[in-house]
Amino acid sequence: MRQGLAEIESSEFGYVAAHGLRAARHAVADYLRRTRGVVADPRRIVLCSGATQAVALLAQCLDGPLAMEDPGFWLHRMVLRHNGIDPLHVPVDEDGIDVDALTACDATTVVTTPAHQSPTGVVLSAPRRTELLEWAQPGRLIIEDDYDAEYRYDRAPIGALQGVAPDRVVYIGSTSKTLAPGLRIGWMVLPAHLIARVRTAKSLADTGSSVMDQIAFSQFLTSGAYDRHLRQMRRRYLSRRNALLAALSRHLPRAEVLGAAAGVHLTVRFPAGFPIEELTRRATELRIRLEPLGPCYAEPDTAPPGLILGYANLTESQIARGVEMLGQAARGLGAA
């Protein structure tokens, strides 16, 4: 922040650019172009308070029915509803979002997580990617939530959809998985026809994100420190992920693991009929907080018994100990 402040004019601290400082939008554009293949014109970028604000602002600017993945990120579903949109639900399978089902519903916009589906962790397959891009005819829009694409372990990175169809895709990203959710730093790259509307929505929401944060983040990006941080974290999270996989196969061998190739979480599914509420209750008694899959489903009661397991913020020994205790809690329930 100190380095950034040394280079900035005091005029940048007025109510000048609700969509973000020029320097910060340029730094984000360079980064997205280089790492995600995004067609990132800084004039099309709106900096915002995380992916969550991006979804809220877009909800205020879009017309027509909107669909999201089922299961999907429960918070985004709530944000959409809070902004007057009741999303249609499109199922997800092991290839990602079901594009036939998307076509069959009336939606003109879809919110999707192609690089690492939230929550299942599956990656949108190449054929589905093509189908989804074909779905995005004029008048239709894909909102690509690229929330954790920086982390990829067992396969080559796949570029953002936006890079192929920049006029049909809104690209969303944030620092919540790479630095910390509490920073509330995020961005959108918009098709030309949405720029004015989304800028106005951002301006009316809060007149712009904190200039201090934008200065610090753009300094972090342009100095190369963000790249160094990501390289270091990739190695660390790979070890943590491997520790989690090893512990799961040892202590919960009947749990099916999904989505381990990327991101900072994976999901496990238990055999049908497994009493996930009872496991969650027993785990709580052991002071282990679990996140079941249920709330991510439009109809939580129909969710398969499963858990979302984040591993980025735990040491390898905490992971090993936690899963061992989970295995003990699951004893007699049909998963161990």
Residues interacting with ligand PLP, by CB under 6 A?
50-52, 73, 113, 118, 145, 147, 174, 176, 181, 186
Q: Which amino acid is at 30?
A: D
Closest contact distance (angstroms) between CB of 59 and ligand PLP is 14
Nearer to ligand PLP, 18 or 308 (CB): 308
The DSSP letter of residue 122 is P
Distance CA 170, CA 140 (A): 11
Nearer to ligand PLP, 157 or 275 (CB): 157
Output the CA angle 118-137-113, nearest 5 degrees. Answer: 10
Count CB-CB contacts under 10 A for residue 334: 14
Nearer to ligand PLP, 50 or 166 (CB): 50
Nearer to ligand PLP, 176 or 209 (CB): 176
- Please name the helix (run of DSSP H) or strand (run of DSSP E) that holds residue 91, with its range, or none: strand 88-93
Closest contact distance (angstroms) between CB of 61 and ligand PLP is 17
Task: Write out the two tokens for 51.
Answer: 């992916």
Pick from 195, 180, 325: which is nearest to 250 by CA? 325
Closest contact distance (angstroms) between CB of 48 and ligand PLP is 9
- Cα 254 to chain centroid distance, Å, stands at 28
Nearer to ligand PLP, 147 or 274 (CB): 147
The DSSP letter of residue 123 is P
Closest contact distance (angstroms) between CB of 19 and ligand PLP is 17
Pick from 169, 127, 227: which is nearest to 39 by CA? 169
Output the CA angle 226-75-188, nearest 5 degrees. Answer: 45
Three-state SS at 154:
coil
Three-state SS at 153:
coil
Residue located via tokens 């092991």: 94
Closest contact distance (angstroms) between CB of 274 and ligand PLP is 24
Under a CB-based contact definition with an 8 Å cutoff, are residues 276 and 306 in contact?
Answer: yes
Closest contact distance (angstroms) between CB of 171 and ligand PLP is 12
Q: Which amino acid is at 87?
A: P
Pick from 143, 314, 128: which is nearest to 236 by CA? 314
Closest contact distance (angstroms) between CB of 73 and ligand PLP is 4
Closest contact distance (angstroms) between CB of 69 and ligand PLP is 9
Nearer to ligand PLP, 129 or 251 (CB): 129
Task: Give the residue at shortest CB distance from ligand PLP.
Answer: 50
Radius of gyration of the chain from Cα atoms?
Answer: 20
Nearer to ligand PLP, 70 or 145 (CB): 145
Length of the chain: 336
Nearer to ligand PLP, 216 or 330 (CB): 216
